[in-house]
Amino acid sequence: MSSSNNLAGGWFPVDPNSPKIQKLARWAVDEENKKPSAYKLEYKGTFKAEEQIVEARNSRISLEAVRVPFAASNKEWHKYQAIVYEDLNNNLELKEFKPLLQANDDECIAVAN
């Protein structure tokens, strides 16, 4: 059964618990940790994932991570959205990594950069 959402260019849902999505989410957090910051992120899990077929594949992943400040011991849970581009040779590029605002228990909104 085919859906217009699965056509090239459209985003379609995928299992956020799949090993591939888990691997991409961990990689995205590791890449974000390479940027200068006052804290380090610890990956905790994913709760939503979508893919988009373009020349290769984009994966839009909503994930949870703990912010661990370098100067203090208190940890803060936060939600983020990452977009990872994977080319035909399996090279990865972190296109976007931004915090999500929680509107309610089931809905998060991406924060504009």
Average pLDDT of the chain, as a whole number:
83
CATH of the domain at 73: 3.10.450.10
Residue 1 lies in a domain: no
Full-model pTM: 0.76
Helix H or strand E segment including 20: helix 19-33
pLDDT (mean) for 12-18 = 96
Residue 80 lies in a domain: yes
pLDDT (mean) for 16-35 = 96
Q: What is the pLDDT of residues 96-110, one digit of tens each?
A: 999 997 544 455 544
Residue 85 lies in a domain: yes
What range defines the domain where residue 15 resides? 8-110
In this predicted structure, what is the pLDDT of residue 37? Answer: 86
How many domains, the chain?
1
At 32, phi and psi to the nearest 5?
A: -65, -35
User: What DSSP string runs through 63-113?
Assistant: EEEEEEESS----EEEEEEEEEEE-TT--EEEEEEEEEEESSSS-EEEPP-
Residue 46 lies in a domain: yes
The strand pairing partners of 63, in sequence order, are 46, 80
